[in-house]
Amino acid sequence: MTTATTVKTEYEAIIGLETHCQLSTNTKIFSNSSTAFGADPNTNIDPVCMGLPGVLPVLNEKVLEYAVKAGLALNCQIARYSKFDRKQYFYPDLPKNYQISQYDLPIAEHGWLEIELVDAEGNPSRKRIGITRLHMEEDAGKLVHAGSVGEASRTETRLSGSSYSLVDYNRAGIPLVEIVSEPDLRSGLEAAEYAEELRRIVRYLGVSDGNMQEGSLRCDVNISVRPVGRKEFGTKVEIKNMNSFSAIQRAIDYEIERQIAAIEAGDRIIQETRLWEEGAQRTSSMRIKEGSSDYRYFPEPDLAPIEVTDAQLEQWRSELPELPAQKRHHYENELGLSAYDARVLTEDRPVTEYFETAIASGANPKAAANWITQDIAAHLNKQKLSITEIGLTPTNLADIITRIETGKISNAQAKEKLPDLLSGISPEKAFAGQELISDPSVLEPIVDEVIAANPKELEKYRNGNTNLKGFFVGQVLKKTAKRADPKLTNELVEKKLNAL
């Protein structure tokens, strides 16, 4: 398949995302079982999440708080009155044979988020993507496929490559919000950026860790294609099983080309659910897609309707942090950072807080951005650490930057001492006795001595090899244990050599 950049211009894709986001509560949505990831199978369970007779669900208030905060951050209208519904379907990992969700009266509707894109020429642009709704629901369990295919004939078994399945109910009852976008996306790149921005937002809010590898963020794509200029949508196909943002982009780009090829061949696109096969880099049919009528929704009789009070709404609104898009605009427009630096610094809230503490402590914003996005980031990647796990505090980073800018130490000295600084050694200790020599009266005799000690190099310099200036500068730095002010040393060496 070709990439999205080669999609025929007479067609356009219509794309929407349904994103399930696990909320970071300690307990499940309707019971007190733990939500901790990685527990042994079927240990984080209880009578409520297992749907045993005679038990009643009770809404976890933290779930409501997190759902409202997510809705506010996505510019949604928060419903003062909403309710839960039963979504009826049978599947082995659904203990009750229904899922408690929200249907016609969700907690939040009619919002939007902004994505930032860069075209082929490097020009940035912004696009607003509508949010249809955000609603609360419980998660189902997890099927674990095992064994070999053997003589099995069921479609699901053939697709999973196994002969039997086990069920782990630890996820049953995990609190989710489902966020449904408007069909405003037009490419795999836009969809991947939308999903990334959504993850940034929920992480900033602290309502979810957004970890796709652990299933905390799961995206399903709805996609159709149509000739450019036609108002009616084409037949919608859903894609599942994408566990990274790059997979979302690649799956969409593949599916766009598949549907266009089918239309041009005269084949009919059917409404179905397809799986993304990462190894084969293609989508494959899983099942015919159900409609909402197949779920036979009706109001959940065991849960009272939800009413959000004015006091709750204002309290939760007041607790919202400044969000990534706002910070990016601030960093670019007021601090003069590049779009790249602003994006890297706002990717994770701990990095943002580290940066902002550093500049609040007196660091030059551009210098702080360079240290964080380059040298410190390289260390974090190599050691697989987060910025909260290093010994270099943002206040000490500001101290280092100030020492460089005031000429007390050089940039090279700071980089040389960075491993010690990252381990927690203070700048005072790291640079004790190593302040730069910035007095010309002290440096001039050293420069004269170096020139006199290297007559062959001096002769070559006189004969036109001016690159040897760097050699003399290096010798001065070596003689002073790198304490000579590099800028002043360059000036004095050039002056002395030209005078000879």
Query: How confident is the model at residue 421, as a pLDDT?
Result: 96
Strands 272-277 and 237-240, sheet pairing: parallel
| Angle at the Cα of 253 from the Cα atoms of 248 and 254, rounded to 5 degrees | 100
Phi-psi region of 144 (alpha: psi -120 to 50; beta: other; left: phi over 0): beta
Please answer whether residues 113 and 198 qualify as being in contact, where contact means their C-beta atoms are separated by less than 8 angstroms.
Answer: yes
Ranges assigned E (strand) in 173-281: 175-181, 217-227, 237-240, 272-277
Q: Which domains does the chain have, with CATH numbers?
A: 4-312 (no CATH), 322-430 (no CATH), 440-499 (1.10.10.410)
Query: How confident is the model at residue 5, as a pLDDT?
Result: 46
Tokens of 309: 């009070």
Please answer whether residues 371 and 401 qualify as being in contact, where contact means their C-beta atoms are separated by less than 8 angstroms.
Answer: yes
Query: How confident is the model at residue 440, as a pLDDT?
Result: 84
Per-residue pLDDT tens digits of the chain, which is 500 residues long: 333 445 567 999 999 999 999 999 999 999 999 999 999 999 999 999 999 999 999 999 999 999 999 999 999 999 999 999 999 988 899 999 999 999 999 999 999 999 998 777 777 889 999 999 999 999 999 998 887 654 444 444 445 567 888 999 999 999 999 999 999 999 999 999 999 999 999 999 999 999 998 999 999 999 999 999 999 999 999 999 898 999 999 999 999 999 999 999 999 999 999 999 999 999 999 887 655 567 889 999 999 999 999 999 999 999 999 999 999 999 999 999 998 999 999 999 999 999 999 999 999 999 999 999 999 999 999 999 999 999 999 999 999 999 999 888 889 889 999 999 999 999 999 998 777 878 788 888 888 888 889 988 888 888 888 888 889 888 988 888 778 888 888 888 888 888 77
Please answer whether residues 108 and 76 qualify as being in contact, where contact means their C-beta atoms are separated by less than 8 angstroms.
Answer: yes
- Separation of alpha carbons 176 and 202, rounded Å: 12
User: Tokens 């016609």 label which residue?
Assistant: 104
- Separation of alpha carbons 276 and 283, rounded Å: 4
Residues in the chain: 500
Beta pairing partners, 114: 128
